[in-house]
């Protein structure tokens, strides 16, 4: 492995950690309707568990209501059962044509809990990035031994690894701040 590969692989892993963190953030309910909350809902469709968003059109109606319009009206009750079973904390309302999910405004206490959850998820992402940094440093030491690199070159690469880590930690901090603001906005 070359140092260029080491840096590229490390950066790819850090980007994946941020993407995973943002995906987790999307599952934190804020009182605003977000179709991403339905990503873990699978509907039994002709005997096959199918992601809800593949068999229906999901739209945001008024900022606090999701409207699920299945392509096949015959599976409305199956969708309703799947949403209830997925335990996303919302009660489906079936009117025979579409299913509506109303997002209640969280209480002040609940908002504070959600902020704690967001910070915890962010901290987990930071730990993942620091683990990537540790792995990169270990790999750098192996390359140093194999290629008999000068000490100042190794120090330069270590600085680059730290700069990369700092860059992604800042991105996570920004994502945490953004999600926190979203959660606390009434």
Q: What are the tens digits of pLDDT across the range 79-94?
A: 888 888 887 778 888 8
Please write the tens of the pLDDT for every residue from 125-146. Answer: 999 999 999 999 999 888 888 8
CATH of residue 52's domain is: 3.30.1360.40
Q: Do 81 and 62 have their domain in common?
A: yes
Q: Do 134 and 111 have their domain in common?
A: yes
pLDDT band at 24 (very low <50, low <70, confident <90, very high): confident
Q: Do 54 and 81 have their domain in common?
A: yes
pLDDT of residue 33: 78
How many C-beta neighbours within 10 Å does residue 42 have? Answer: 17
Q: Do 86 and 44 have their domain in common?
A: yes
Q: Do 54 and 41 have their domain in common?
A: yes
- Structural domain range at position 167: 3-27+107-184
Q: Do 41 and 22 have their domain in common?
A: no
Q: Do 120 and 174 have their domain in common?
A: yes
Phi-psi map region of 148: left, alpha, beta (phi>0 left; psi -120 to 50 alpha) = left
pLDDT of residue 186: 64
CA distance 2 to 149: 12
pTM above 0.85, yes or no: no
Helix (H) or strand (E) holding 172: helix 151-184
């Amino acid at each position: 492995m070359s140092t260029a590969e080491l840096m590229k692989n490390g950066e790819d892993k850090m980007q994946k950690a941020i993407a995973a963190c943002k995906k987790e953030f999307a599952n934190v309910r804020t009182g605003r309707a977000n179709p991403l909350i339905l990503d873990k809902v699978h509907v039994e469709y002709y005997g096959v568990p199918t992601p809800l968003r593949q068999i229906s059109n999901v739209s945001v109606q008024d900022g606090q209501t999701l409207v699920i319009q299945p392509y096949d009206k015959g599976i409305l009750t199956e969708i309703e059962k799947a949403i209830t079973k997925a335990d996303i904390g919302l009660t489906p309302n079936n009117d025979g044509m579409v299913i509506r999910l109303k997002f209640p405004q969280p209480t002040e206490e609940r908002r504070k809990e959600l902020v704690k959850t967001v910070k915890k998820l962010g901290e987990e992402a930071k730990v993942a990035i620091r683990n990537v940094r540790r792995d990169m440093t270990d790999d750098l030491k192996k390359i140093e031994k194999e290629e008999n690199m000068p000490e100042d070159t190794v120090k330069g690469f270590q600085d680059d690894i730290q700069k990369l880590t700092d860059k992604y930690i800042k991105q996570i901090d920004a994502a945490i701040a953004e999600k926190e603001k979203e959660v606390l906005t009434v």
